[in-house]
Structure 1
């Protein structure tokens, strides 16, 4: 605001000096005398006014440069405002898309939950169950070591087993090891309880336990986790 006031004052001064310069030129052509003294009145020298105009013109030029710089920054600010408006519009559009997508996901989840509840509660048709069993049986009829890349003979029902032999062995080993760990944890708990009964009873318990393990009948019930033969009857 101060710069605008200063510029307005300098423009007014420029107008005043211009009028004074023109008036000085007129005074040079017209001789004037003072009525009281009867002497010739000397006009203001135009060179003095011209020097003031030159100095004022320099100040006005610097003010014009400042105005041009201000306009340049103003254009940059307007460009930034336009970018902000575009970003806000894009963000609003993205927020609407996210809101719509969220509603669609919620709807899909609700439909899936209803479908799951319906499949769990509705009765299973016997024909569907038999058809499922028939199709599943075909996928378990291939022997171990079956090559799924080998061409299938016409008319045969042998298909690649699912789950595969490797998956079945992995599941067998994992389940067996879990059972062994649970058995070992149970024996540790039992040993801790027996230890509280005294040293003599502990020795007797150990001899009894050793005798139990030494029996031939219990060895047949133990499961070897590394026995991965899935078809022992084919040997």
Structure 2
């Protein structure tokens, strides 16, 4: 009983402090006059970018499928003093050659160093790899998963088709669109994971799993 209470308190403390621990590392990775690109609306990325604002960088925010959320995040960052430019995701490849680094919030970190992020993020990291732009993924340790990318089931993570093709368009009567909730980002597209314990390369994720979790708990 005591062990269960202790574990619950420890997990709650990790959930409450992870975001602040990650955002406090922002000044180590953002530099003056840099051009940083982020994709979509992410609470953790927003907090990280606000914390890094003392470096006086410039920000490009590429819209995800959640256009309203992206615009709202851009407005909040602008109000906080961050010089932000909101662009369509289709223009990311053309802008990437001028970008210094990409910062992404992720929804999960897989055992092999891959990650799950908002739909469309794979195209962003692919452009970053083409132009040799470093990609920083913000990932609290509670988002670590013992699964590998090959164990994922893409069909299980679909959103409403309205997100991809609104109902008011005539094409919606004859098309069957699919709107995935997230993308799988390969480990070779990510330069560094920033966790609440510091920075880790994708190849080190398996070691974090072995240090933080018992293999017997991988399948509950």
Q: Which of structures 1 and 2 has the bigger CA Rg? A: 1
TM range (shorter): under 0.3
Q: Higher helix share goes to which structure?
A: 1
